[in-house]
Structures are given as structure tokens and as C-alpha cells.
Amino acid sequence: MCGCHDTDESHDAETQKIVERRRLVQGLAAGGLLTAGAGLPGCSTNPETGRSQLLLVRGEQLSQMAAASWADVKSKTPTSNDPRYTRRLKTIGDRIARGANKHNERWDYAVFDQNTRNAFVLPGNRVGFYKGMMDFADNDDQIAGIMGHEVGHVTGRHAAARVSQQMAGQLAIAGGTILGGSQLQRRCRSLPANQQRACFQRASQNTRLLNGALGMGISLGVLLPYSRQHESESDLLGAKYMHKAGYDAYQSVRLWEKMAEASPSRQPELLSTHPDPARRARDLHNYIKAQEDLGSQGWDSIKT
């Protein structure tokens, strides 16, 4: 699954189901591609971001897995055929794809007939918008900001990177648990026979605690920060694609200001998959201003 774009983290029941389906794609990939990734180079430099990425899976493989999830979402969630939404979304999507030099690829857009303020992208250039998200936007430029963000997840290779991180994290947790558990059990074997049973029970319990602690550490220290980094990267890439497509990139700033105003109560950013909306607006403003200051040399990268 590609990193989703949750504009409102207080999901309703249906949105939560969709999030879980996307996580299922991610989980299937993590569990099923360990051997497939063995022949791949571990790291590569992404030409769009200039950042080195750990890639243990191929985007084509994730796309095949995501196809079933995409079909499932569209079969279980009402979709809109209203051209005021579908034609508008496709027009904006095609312009953003051209701005990202992805116009020669096939894109599949869907508008879901619900009031949720959300949009997402799945591997294989499958982009879903909810009517609530399109209605929340003031104009086409703000919708283009969201679309640019989703396309940024594609060009940033965030789906493959996220799955690769999870795979590496799972291996680290398993290895740390095995190593720690074996050390605890080794100590028990040095005790008198009448003390070993109780010692092994404590060792087993402590091994489970160790596993949970390692999992929490990987989540808070690696996976969540990477997720927030992916979201921030996609914001900047989206602004870049907006500019190249002829949209007003500053409208992406206004969109996130509106998001911050609409969700004043949020969980701490440390525990979130997404950066704080107010910070996203500030970062976008600073990036856009920096590109304008560069003049003709601007908008070639997402560096400020």
C-alpha cells in the first residue's frame, strides 16, 4: 500500500475500514515478498527527492497486490458518477500528472460518494478522493494541491519504501527478541535444577516484554518518523507539480491552514503518521517562497 493521505485522522467507520484494507496490502507485501526482495539492491537514490531509499520490493509487485484492494474499495464504497466531481478530478489529475512528467502512464481516479475529508493513493497510480474532500476545498488549486501530494507519494516511491521499512523492522524485532531470549534462557540453565522452571517462566515473560518494547521502539523511532517524512516530502513534491501544471502553489498552504482550523484537537505529532497541519502549512509556505526567490533556477527540486 502507498502511504495514504489522511486529511482528517478522526476516521468514521467506513474510512477506518478502507485504511485497514490498505494496511492489508502492506501486510501482505511484507509477509510475502521477503524472498522476492532478496535479489534487489538494498538502497537507491530517488531522482525526485535526491534521498537514498531502502527498497526491498518492486513497485510492480505492490501494484498487483493493490489491484484487489482497489477493486474491493470501489465495490464496497459508493462511487459518484456526477461529472461535476469525476470530470473535475480527472482534469486536475491529468494536469498534475503532466506536471510530474507522469502523463504517459495510466491513472485511475475514483470519487467516493461520502462526506469524509480524505483522499488516498494506492500502488499502480490509483487515486481516490471523497466528495467531502472536494467540497472542503475552496477551488481547483486546492484540489490540485491534494492531487499533487498523492502523485508525490508515487514519484517518491513511498509505498515500496514503507513496506521495505516494515520488513526491515520486523527482522530487527525478531532478531533482537531471539537474541535477548536466548541470553535470558542461558542464565536459567546455570541455576540449580529446582530453580530453573521458575527462571524459564520469567525468561519467557521477559522475552515477550522485550518483543513489545522493540516493536514500540521501531514504531516510534523509525516507522512513524519515516511516515511523517513521506507526508512532508509529498507536500513539497505536490507544490512543485502544482507550479509546473500552472496552479497557484500557495493554495496548498491555505488548504492546510483550513485543515488546522478544522481539527484543533489532535494527538501529539510523535504518535501520528502525519505531521501537524499548521506545520505543514508553514513548511509549504517556506518552500514555495524559497523556490520563487531562486527565480529561473527554482522548482527543480524539493530542497529549500
Q: Model confidence over 18-50: pLDDT tens digits?
A: 454 455 444 444 344 433 444 444 778 888 888
Using the predicted structure, report yes or no on whether residue 9 has a pLDDT greater than 80. no
State how far the alpha carbon of 76 is from the alpha carbons of 17, 22, 32, 138, in Å: 10, 14, 25, 28
| Cell numbers for 133 | 474532500
Nearest to 92 by CA among 296, 236, 233, 251: 251
The model's confidence at residue 203, banded by pLDDT at 50, 70 and 90, is confident
Using the predicted structure, report yes or no on whether residue 274 has a pLDDT greater than 90. no
From the CA atom positions of the chain, what is the Rg in Å?
Answer: 22
Please tell me the predicted confidence (pLDDT) of residue 8. 41
Which has the higher per-residue pLDDT, 207 or 21?
A: 207
Average pLDDT over residues 105-122: 95
Please tell me the predicted confidence (pLDDT) of residue 31. 40
Please tell me the predicted confidence (pLDDT) of residue 141. 98
Using the predicted structure, report yes or no on whether residue 85 has a pLDDT greater than 80. yes
Please tell me the predicted confidence (pLDDT) of residue 11. 43
Please tell me the predicted confidence (pLDDT) of residue 47. 86
| Amino acid identity for residue 112 in this structure | F
Please tell me the predicted confidence (pLDDT) of residue 33. 40
d(Cα 149, Cα 152) in Å, to the nearest integer? Answer: 5
Whether the Cβ atoms of residue 140 and residue 255 lie closer than 8 Å to each other: no
d(Cα 20, Cα 24) in Å, to the nearest integer? Answer: 6
State how far the alpha carbon of 53 is from the alpha carbons of 41, 156, 261, in Å: 10, 9, 34
Per-residue 3-state assignment (H helix, E strand, C coil) for the chain: CCCCECCCCCCCHHHHHHHHHHHHHHHHHHHHCCCHHHHCCCEEECCCCCCEEECCCCHHHHHHHHHHHHHHHHHHCCECCCHHHHHHHHHHHHHHHHHCCCCCCCCEEEEECCCCCCEEEECCCEEEEEHHHHHHCCCHHHHHHHHHHHHHHHHCCHHHHHHHHHHHHHHHHHHHHHHHHHHHHHHHHCCCHHHHHHHHHHHHHHHHHHHHHHHHHHHHHHHHHHHHHHHHHHHHHHHHHHHHCCCCCHHHHHHHHHHHHHCCCCCCHHHCCCCCHHHHHHHHHHHHHHHHHHHHHCCCCCCC
| Amino acid identity for residue 187 in this structure | R
d(Cα 187, Cα 222) in Å, to the nearest integer? Answer: 31
Average pLDDT over residues 165-169: 73
Q: Cβ atoms within 10 A of the Cβ of 58, count?
A: 14
Q: Distance between the two ends of the chain, CA-based, in angstroms?
A: 29
Please tell me the predicted confidence (pLDDT) of residue 28. 41
Do β-strands 52-54 and 43-45 pair in parallel, antiparallel, or remain unpaired?
Answer: antiparallel
> Which residue bears the cell 524559497?
290
Whether the Cβ atoms of residue 56 and residue 164 lie closer than 8 Å to each other: yes
State how far the alpha carbon of 205 is from the alpha carbons of 177, 181, 215, 220, 251, in Å: 12, 10, 16, 23, 53
Please tell me the predicted confidence (pLDDT) of residue 32. 40
Please tell me the predicted confidence (pLDDT) of residue 108. 96
d(Cα 100, Cα 40) in Å, to the nearest integer? Answer: 26
What pTM does this model have?
A: 0.76
Least confident of 134-148, 158-172, 259-273: 259-273
Measured in degrees and rounded to the nearest 5, phi and psi for residue 217 equal -65, -45
